[in-house]
């Protein structure tokens, strides 16, 4: 082999090896017995128009969630999940309400506190695969059965709260909620510029389909950087019964996000998500001759930080 051929062969091998090292398989590589946590903070602005009058509502939602790995079989993790803390604040011209699990001075008789206190610290079981697909949730809906007991002095109110919240406090609904918090990794190996798509669905308070289009921006031994865009839309024909009225939802929108991932564990160190949902809610009632149209726009900014 001539000297020139040896040089060309060396360069070819070098190029191939660099190409191979620049690809990786994205997976959750979590250790049994370890606890992994996320802090969430979402600020949501709602603008709605009723009979020509504009109403603005600001919601702040936050808290810490921990995932303790209890076991692994094949590519399926078994975990114990706990909401370690919760924060909720609603501000509007019509009503203000708030809850902070860390506020030791909060009024213990507040129905919001009675209800949310059941969630904080409650342990439930979640199974998910190493790509981030939630397989099963068990034990979260036990909360609904405890609501009546905490309203012991007013069982009628307790039953009403249980009926209103039973859909939200269900294992199936929590499965969908957690699916939106987990990044779903692709089957194939990725490199800078690789793209893939995943779909999630929120069920409460109304069903919304989400599409996430991921792109790999940077990749090294310590960190993986992702970005992307996507879309949101209420399920066609979606309606909800509330206070004797039927609400029909027709909302669509866009989302964008960025994420930094620990390359060793696959656990996110930070996720930033922006969402805009826009459209109309039609309200029907036996007391109204024709449906009332309520244009609505919801803007949300969320940050998830690994702890």
Whether the CB-CB separation of 60 and 96 falls below 8 Å is answered with: no
Residues 6+ apart with CB under 8 A from 74: none
Domain count, the chain: 1
pLDDT tens digit string along 141-183? 888 778 777 777 777 777 777 776 666 778 888 898 888 789 9
Instruction: Specify the CATH number for the domain of residue 89.
Output: 2.30.230
Domain presence at residue 16: no
Higher pLDDT, 243 or 63: 63
Name the pTM for this structure. Answer: 0.84
In terms of residue numbers, what domain contains 265? 27-306
Q: Distance (Å, rounded) from C-alpha 291 to C-alpha 284?
A: 5
Whether residue 2 is contained in a domain is answered as: no
Rg (CA), the chain: 23
Q: Which of 28-37, 91-100, 107-116 has the lowest mean pLDDT?
A: 107-116
The verdict on residue 36 lying in a domain is: yes
Distance separating alpha carbons of residues 261 and 216, to the nearest angstrom: 11
Q: Average pLDDT, whole number, for the chain?
A: 86
Is residue 227 in a domain? Answer: yes
Assigned domain for 176 exists: yes
Is 19 within the bounds of a domain?
Answer: no
pLDDT digits (tens, 9 = 90+) for 10-26: 444 444 444 444 689 99
Predicted local distance difference test score (pLDDT) of residue 14: 41
Residue 10 lies in a domain: no
State yes or no: pLDDT of 53 exceeds 50: yes
Q: Which residue has the higher pLDDT, 225 or 10?
A: 225
The pLDDT of residue 20 is 44
- The verdict on residue 1 lying in a domain is no
Q: Tell me the pLDDT band of 263, cut-offs 50, 70 and 90.
A: very high
pLDDT tens digit string along 74-92? 999 999 999 999 999 999 9
């Amino acid at each position: 082999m001539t000297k020139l051929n040896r040089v060309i062969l060396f360069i070819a091998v070098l190029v191939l090896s660099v190409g191979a090292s620049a690809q990786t398989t994205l997976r959750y590589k979590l250790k049994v017995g370890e606890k992994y946590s996320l802090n969430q903070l979402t600020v949501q602005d709602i603008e709605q128009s009723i009979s020509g009058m504009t109403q603005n509502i600001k919601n702040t939602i936050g808290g810490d969630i921990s995932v303790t790995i209890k076991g692994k079989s094949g590519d399926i993790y078994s975990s114990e999940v706990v909401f370690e803390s919760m924060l909720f604040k609603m501000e509007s011209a019509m009503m203000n309400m708030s809850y902070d699990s860390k506020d030791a001075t909060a009024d213990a008789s507040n129905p919001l506190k009675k209800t949310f206190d059941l969630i904080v610290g409650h342990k439930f079981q979640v199974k998910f695969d190493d790509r981030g697909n939630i397989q099963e949730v068990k034990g979260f809906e036990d909360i609904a059965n405890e609501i009546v007991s905490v309203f012991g002095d007013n069982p009628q109110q307790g039953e009403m709260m249980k009926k209103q919240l039973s859909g939200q406090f269900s294992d199936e609904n929590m499965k969908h909620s957690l699916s939106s918090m987990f990044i779903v990794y692709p089957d194939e190996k990725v490199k800078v510029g690789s793209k893939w798509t995943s779909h999630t669905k929120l069920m409460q308070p109304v069903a919304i389909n989400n599409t996430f289009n991921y792109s790999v921006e940077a990749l090294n031994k310590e960190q993986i950087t992702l970005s992307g865009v996507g879309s949101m839309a209420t399920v066609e024909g979606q309606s909800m019964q509330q206070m004797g009225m039927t609400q029909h939802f027709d909302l669509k929108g866009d989302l964008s996000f960025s994420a930094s991932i620990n390359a060793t564990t696959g656990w996110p160190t930070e996720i930033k998500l922006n969402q805009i949902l826009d459209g109309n809610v039609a309200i029907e009632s036996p007391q109204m001759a024709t449906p009332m149209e309520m244009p609505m726009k919801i803007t949300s900014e969320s940050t998830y930080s690994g702890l």
